[in-house]
Structure 1
Amino acid sequence: MKLPKLTPLQSRLLASVIATLLVVVIWISFQPHHFVYAAELNPLPLVDGDQSHFGDSLPPFPVEGHGLELEEEIRDGGGDSGEGGAYEPDFAYFDRSLIGRAPDGVDALVNNVKKEMDSNPGKTHNFVLEKSQVQGKKAEPGTGFPSRLEGRGTENTSNGDGFVGLEDEDDVMDVVKRQQGNMVYISVSTCRQPSSNITLITDEPPQLMLYVSTDQRNQKPGPDAKNDLAHEPIPFKSGLATFSVQANSDVYIGVEAPKLTEGWTGNWHYEVAASIDGWYHSYNDTSPFLWLVDTDADSALFISYNLTKENSSEEINDKWAKMDSPFTMYTFDTTRWGMTGAGLERSVCGLKEQFQATRANVNVAADMTRRYGAGGNRPKAQFHITGLNASTKYVGFLAMEGNGTTDPLNVPGNAVAQAGGRVWKQFFWTTKTADSSCQVIFNLKFCTEVAYAVPSSPTFQNNSTGLAALYDDRAAAYFTNFSNSLAQIACDTTGTAQYSLAKTCANCSHDYKEWLCSVLMPRCKDFSDPDPWLIDRNVGTPFPNGTFPYQGNLSNENEAKRRRLAYNQSRNPMIDDDIKPGPYKELLPCEDLCFDIVRSCPAALGFSCPEGRMGEMSYGRRLGDGRNLTCNFPGAVVDLNMFRGGCETGNVTSFPLGAVPVEGYRNRLCSVFFAC
């Protein structure tokens, strides 16, 4: 029989069919002889709490790693729902995010995204960061800040865990590392906690407890499920719990709210987050990252440490100074804090909620500045707190609230703050008394380094800007007269004709300005301050309440002070004529400020420094221990990190930010002026 003649199209179709059939035959010939395995299973238990397992006779899967892995776990759960774990399939090539969902009573977390939760006493809530999130690509570093002092590494990898689209060996290694396991950073921050219903109770509120598991046999870790934990239960400390673990599979989290004992009422509200990029919530326990500039009866001025490196460019420094402050400050009366806020010292959301509830008239104004300090005038954050009470001890916290993204803010000391924010170590300070004649001024136009309390009066109580302008304008006028005198000196001339081979007119002008501002604007202290290096001023004027100094303590020494002119007036006549303060004590300017202008300026100007008793009444000396501010100078600040008792104990540093230490500075002066 003659075969029919096929058209070209039919010929190609026939060839394709034959090739397909051959591929199928070859594929079948290489497969195992069994496609399905079966095993007899034990019956499910009839009594709660028992466990049943698949029979030991279950044969191996046909191809290792490509089959269906089965596991059953029945146990008591720790979640609020009280439900135990249930059978859950886990396929080798499919993640739960694709084929299923988190177990009942377990909330799924997303990388770098917080979840808020209320929890009643005695309850435990569970969360899971699924494998797809654990093995995901790390977030790109943020670019919202002028400079980065500690950047995170980036992961230039493809989407998913495959190798498709990878451009070089580094990309391949990134994927391999993720398959081996990423570090998962878990943090939980308490925003609200139970309160005391007993006035005399002094203990902190009970803290939450964190449980973490990476084992599928414990998908609801908690007080009733402590088996197979990644670590012992982690107690919260001051409102924060953190834990990191390397994982390449699901990470299970439990947060337990303990039962309340007598004297406590209420519940908890907290934020929980997991991240492969860094701590979502963080805390720095080594430093408050702040200097106290000065206080008066109802306000306080703080500045942060420098925010850029010493060798940062002028462009970077300027960008930092012009941006909005990324920091905030929370402050509380220590008495009220002990009753309502203790136990939340490490929680940004907890501090924020407490401050909003108890702030009353307290206001915190935050901005950026490049003033205050000889260390290159690098940018700092500045905080002016108003609405405080006189003679009151306060506790404060520097914080940076998260911006809701993975953009971190990098500042010195490994202070990398993620989206949940960061808190620095708490600090204490005390305001001046109600009878104080001192008022804080700062941000002056001419005397840019002046930032401290100066003599004032009730006339300027609500007009610190006017008070600052009064002092600053007078200083600028004196400096204009000085500049006219200095202009008579041949400054721009040959080296052999200059008045000094070591100093120039620019040095003279700078040192004179520092001396002028420090002398014209005395640093004011409470009249009750007992420090022996302070000088009594205006002792012949009454306090606001009508009483006079030394009343009831008129010793021979005090009687002599009442008769001496130096104690009955201010250093600057303008203060008594235009401001009219009551009694106060003055922290004298440092003697080296006077020495500097004598050394830097031409002899023709006739500068000299007083000696003997007159010198002791006019200038103070810096102590070499750096613990006490014994004289005033530009950029002098209080070190809140030296002693934890608070600045009222005299915890200060006696050198400008970024300048040489006191001892080195004193030795330099000594080598010039004294026989050492």
Structure 2
Amino acid sequence: MHLSPLQSRLVASLAASCLLILLYLILFPPSFALAAELNDAFPAVSDDLDFSIDPAVLNNRDPMYEPEFSAFDRSITGRVPEGVTPLTDNEPLPMNIQPGSTQLFVFVLPSGSPGEEDGRRHELRGEHNASREATAGAGATEQAKGTFEDGQGIGKRQAKQTVYISANTCDRPLPVDPSKTTQDAPQLTLFVSTSAENQAPGPLADQGSQDVVVFNEGAVMYSFNTDGEVYLGVYAPNVSDSFSTKPYNVQVVVSTDGYYFSYDDHDDADLIWVDSDSQGALLITHNLTDSTDPKLEAEIMKTQPYVLFAHNKKDRAINGLKYSYCGLYRHAQIAATKDERATPLVRTGMTKRGPGNLPKQQFFFSGLNSSAEYFGILARDGLDDGDHLATRQAAFKRGTRVFKATSFRTKSNHGNCALVIDLSFCDQIAYSVPSNPNFGNSTKLADFYDSYARSAYANFEKSLAQVPCDAPSSQRYSLVRNCTDCAAAYKDWLCSVAIPRCEDFSNTAPYLQPRAVTQPFPNGERLDAETLASMPNTTAFTASRNPRIDEVIKPGPHKELLPCDHLCYKLVQSCPASLEFGCPLPRGIGFAGNYAKHDPSVGLTCNFPGSAHFPSAGERAVLDWGLMILVLVAGSLTV
């Protein structure tokens, strides 16, 4: 049959296509499953469960539940191993841990973290999950048992971030009989790993793939850089039979913003012990600002940024918990907090008394035991810190910070030294003064001393009014001092002399001056003959500094922390010679028994307005206060 030209071309095209298909099948033969290859050894799966659903019920069902985990994407949800607790960014998780066991946690960097978008890509190679630089928090006991291993596999890459781990021990096993053991329950231990090969860090895991940090007084802080999952283990060590079976209770937090719980164990305490009496104590913070801006000062004076815990040193309830906010909150004997633990035994408020006339927060304790030593622990509860985190669901909010403890002690139960504060005229005075329980309360006592000083100052003002204070500079008594300087120097001197600082008679410090030794104590007791024979029979020993104290208060035997000699010199330098002020020299007539020199290397060896009683924590404070308050106390009052 003869084909047309068009048909010839069609046949040629079909033949060429068939040849190409045949060539492809020869070069790339396909694989087919043969029936003989199928394994019929597997039985059919059947059970007795009926999964049929009533169509009516199906049509009335609620919308499907979709779980939401802000810190975890679907790459982690659903594959957390049993016994491992996921942690969410900036959310504390309370947990009980039995002694001898390890509680495991896992933390994944939250999606949308800074820098994640720049690195959101997949790579067909292993990633370094964590930086080899890791830092433990302030004061943490570091036991770097190894470095983080490299994670392997294909994963989502994101920029490294700093992860901050912090935890507080809230409870721990207690001795069954405290009188039979001097030991306290051991500290918890934190194990941290970023290696996929060590997802259960702990005492039995590979030490080369984890870092180890022991809790310090119930707290731990640890930070490092990572771009992957973080695995944590908190290990509770075994305890002996001498302890109760009570578990450890801990709060663990991981944050990408900063430490949720923190503490400060610097050498200098942030709290100053000013003074105490037999039942109370006065403590104060350092300056809360260095600014002299009136608006800023006014705003600060409206706040009370700190809380305070006090605890008798003989009671072991807070041993091992001194840097744990929740531990102190639960176990400290006295708490000055802003919530249900607030107590009438503590009065707190703002004051400018002391160095620089700048804002500070003070705490006045009452109801303490006499002749006892206490811890005073300053803290911030984080409730009013104004931080940028939105999380506010935990009992203890982000921003809690605990400071190093300050030690203080109360005086004996003789009751002849009592704290006075917030005087209206002598507003820089806040310490114990000669007292008598039969005289009245502290308010009446403070008014007696304050009124006495105010009346004496009125006489001085009459003398100062005779000085031409407003005369031209060429006619003034001094080119560098004026009448304002003189009045300030005299007021500070007068208040410290008219209001002596009282110490226990049993205090053996060599710089203290015995007073009123021949008089009875408020309870009627007297010093024994041997003690009296060891002291001179002079007015400096047999009477108080001011006669009116013995006439009205009748405190009995006590010792006085003498005024510093600097104020007398300052008074002479600041006032005109016509007022005839003069000062005795050290080791000269009139110095002993009336003045003392300030020796910061020993502690508080003399008294001046705004001075602090505590030597070690107050050494820095005493030096600062002495430099910032130019008028120091010295001399004796002539009446």
TM-score (norm 2): 0.73
Residues 628 and 652, structure 1, Cα contact 8 Å, conserved in 2? no
Structure 1 partner of 2:490 = 512
Cα distance 1:525–1:257, how it changes in 2: closer, same or farther (>3 A)?
same
Residues 291 and 304, structure 1, Cα contact 8 Å, conserved in 2? yes
Shift of 1:97: 6.6
Which secondary structure does the structure 1 equivalent of 2:591 belong to?
A: helix
Structure 2 partner of 1:268 = 248
Amino acid at match of 2:325: V
Residues 447 and 475, structure 1, Cα contact 8 Å, conserved in 2? yes
In structure 2, C-alpha distance between the alignment counterparts of 1:290 and 1:420, rounded to whole Å: 18
Which secondary structure does the structure 2 equivalent of 1:331 belong to?
A: strand
Worse-superposed segment, 537-546 or 521-530? 537-546
CA-to-aligned-CA distance 1:46-69 (integer Å, 9 cap, x gap): xxxxxxxxxxxxxxxxxxxxxxxx
Say whether 1:332 aligns with 2:332. Answer: no
Structure 1 partner of 2:86 = 108
Task: Give the superposed CA RMSD.
Answer: 3.2
Alignment of 1:288-437 (within 5 A): 288-309=269-290, 311-323=291-303, 325-337=304-316, 340-355=317-332, 363-373=345-355, 376-403=356-383, 407=387, 419-437=398-416
Shift of 1:209: 1.8
Structure 1 partner of 2:558 = 584
Amino acid at match of 1:293: V
- Kindly report structure 1 stretches of 4+ aligned residues shifted beyond 6 Å: 357-362
What count of residue pairs does the alignment treat as equivalent? 511
Cα distance 1:230–1:470, how it changes in 2: closer, same or farther (>3 A)?
same
Residues 220 and 252, structure 1, Cα contact 8 Å, conserved in 2? yes
In structure 1, C-alpha distance between the alignment counterparts of 2:447 and 2:334, rounded to whole Å: 36
Aligned partner (choices 443, 447, 458) of residue 422 of structure 2: 443
Aligned partner (choices 494, 503, 506) of residue 472 of structure 2: 494
Residues 112 and 405, structure 1, Cα contact 8 Å, conserved in 2? no
Say whether 1:616 aligns with 2:597. Answer: no
In structure 2, C-alpha distance between the alignment counterparts of 1:355 and 1:453, rounded to whole Å: 25
5+ residue gaps, structure 2, are: 1-27, 29-71, 121-156, 390-395, 635-639
Cα distance 1:641–1:314, how it changes in 2: closer, same or farther (>3 A)?
farther
CA-to-aligned-CA distance 1:81-105 (integer Å, 9 cap, x gap): xxxxxxxxxxxxx933786463332
In structure 1, C-alpha distance between the alignment counterparts of 2:119 and 2:351, rounded to whole Å: 49
In structure 1, C-alpha distance between the alignment counterparts of 2:185 and 2:375, rounded to whole Å: 18
In structure 2, C-alpha distance between the alignment counterparts of 1:629 and 1:658, rounded to whole Å: 11
Q: Matched residues, percent identical?
A: 39
Which secondary structure does the structure 2 equivalent of 1:403 belong to?
A: coil
Shift of 1:609: 3.0
Cα distance 1:451–1:579, how it changes in 2: closer, same or farther (>3 A)?
same
Worse-superposed segment, 511-520 or 653-662? 653-662
Amino acid at match of 1:257: A
Which secondary structure does the structure 2 equivalent of 1:222 belong to?
A: coil
Residues 95 and 249, structure 2, Cα contact 8 Å, conserved in 1? yes
Say whether 1:237 aligns with 2:216. Answer: yes
Structure 2 partner of 1:573 = 547
Aligned partner (choices 604, 625, 628) of residue 657 of structure 1: 625
Alignment of 1:29-48 (within 5 A): none
In structure 1, C-alpha distance between the alignment counterparts of 2:511 and 2:626, rounded to whole Å: 25
Cα distance 1:460–1:400, how it changes in 2: closer, same or farther (>3 A)?
farther
Worse-superposed segment, 356-365 or 390-399? 356-365
Cα distance 1:370–1:234, how it changes in 2: closer, same or farther (>3 A)?
same
Shift of 1:580: 1.8
In structure 1, C-alpha distance between the alignment counterparts of 2:583 and 2:525, rounded to whole Å: 37
Shift of 1:262: 2.1
Alignment of 1:509-548 (within 5 A): 509-548=487-526
Cα distance 1:638–1:536, how it changes in 2: closer, same or farther (>3 A)?
closer
Alignment of 1:133-172 (within 5 A): 136-137=113-114, 161=117
Amino acid at match of 2:189: M
In structure 2, C-alpha distance between the alignment counterparts of 1:654 and 1:221, rounded to whole Å: 48
Residues 185 and 244, structure 1, Cα contact 8 Å, conserved in 2? yes
Residues 96 and 130, structure 1, Cα contact 8 Å, conserved in 2? no
Worse-superposed segment, 102-111 or 245-254? 102-111
Shift of 1:364: 2.9
Amino acid at match of 1:302: L
Amino acid at match of 2:416: S
Shift of 1:404: 8.5
Worse-superposed segment, 203-212 or 449-458? 203-212
Amino acid at match of 1:183: T
Structure 1 partner of 2:610 = 635
In structure 1, C-alpha distance between the alignment counterparts of 2:180 and 2:579, rounded to whole Å: 68
In structure 2, C-alpha distance between the alignment counterparts of 1:96 and 1:638, rounded to whole Å: 60
Which secondary structure does the structure 1 equivalent of 2:362 belong to?
A: strand
Cα distance 1:640–1:350, how it changes in 2: closer, same or farther (>3 A)?
farther
Shift of 1:545: 4.0
In structure 2, C-alpha distance between the alignment counterparts of 1:267 and 1:586, rounded to whole Å: 51
Amino acid at match of 1:348: Y
Residues 280 and 419, structure 2, Cα contact 8 Å, conserved in 1? yes
Cα distance 1:401–1:381, how it changes in 2: closer, same or farther (>3 A)?
same
CA-to-aligned-CA distance 1:337-383 (integer Å, 9 cap, x gap): 2xx3211121111111111599999933222211112xx21222211
CA-to-aligned-CA distance 1:582-610 (integer Å, 9 cap, x gap): 21111111222122222211222232335
Structure 1 partner of 2:146 = none
Cα distance 1:639–1:418, how it changes in 2: closer, same or farther (>3 A)?
farther
Structure 2 partner of 1:190 = 169
Shift of 1:254: 1.5
Aligned partner (choices 566, 571, 576) of residue 597 of structure 1: 571
Say whether 1:551 aligns with 2:532. Answer: no
Which secondary structure does the structure 2 equivalent of 1:180 belong to?
A: coil
Structure 2 partner of 1:279 = 259
Structure 2 partner of 1:42 = none
Amino acid at match of 2:469: C
Which secondary structure does the structure 2 equivalent of 1:423 belong to?
A: strand
CA-to-aligned-CA distance 1:75-124 (integer Å, 9 cap, x gap): xxxxxxxxxxxxxxxxxxx9337864633322222222111111222232
Which secondary structure does the structure 2 equivalent of 1:396 belong to?
A: strand
Amino acid at match of 1:659: L
Residues 655 and 661, structure 1, Cα contact 8 Å, conserved in 2? no
Aligned partner (choices 237, 250, 271) of residue 258 of structure 1: 237
Alignment of 1:208-219 (within 5 A): 208-219=188-199
Residues 514 and 558, structure 2, Cα contact 8 Å, conserved in 1? yes
In structure 2, C-alpha distance between the alignment counterparts of 1:255 and 1:131, rounded to whole Å: 20
Shift of 1:500: 1.3
Amino acid at match of 1:161: E
Residues 627 and 654, structure 1, Cα contact 8 Å, conserved in 2? no
Say whether 1:128 aligns with 2:84. Answer: no
Shift of 1:136: 2.4
Residues 118 and 269, structure 1, Cα contact 8 Å, conserved in 2? yes
Cα distance 1:358–1:295, how it changes in 2: closer, same or farther (>3 A)?
closer
Residues 290 and 640, structure 1, Cα contact 8 Å, conserved in 2? no
In structure 2, C-alpha distance between the alignment counterparts of 1:404 and 1:193, rounded to whole Å: 29
Structure 2 partner of 1:22 = none
In structure 2, C-alpha distance between the alignment counterparts of 1:437 and 1:379, rounded to whole Å: 31
Residues 286 and 621, structure 2, Cα contact 8 Å, conserved in 1? no
- Asked which structure has the greater CA Rg, the reply is 2
Cα distance 1:587–1:276, how it changes in 2: closer, same or farther (>3 A)?
same
Cα distance 1:433–1:640, how it changes in 2: closer, same or farther (>3 A)?
same
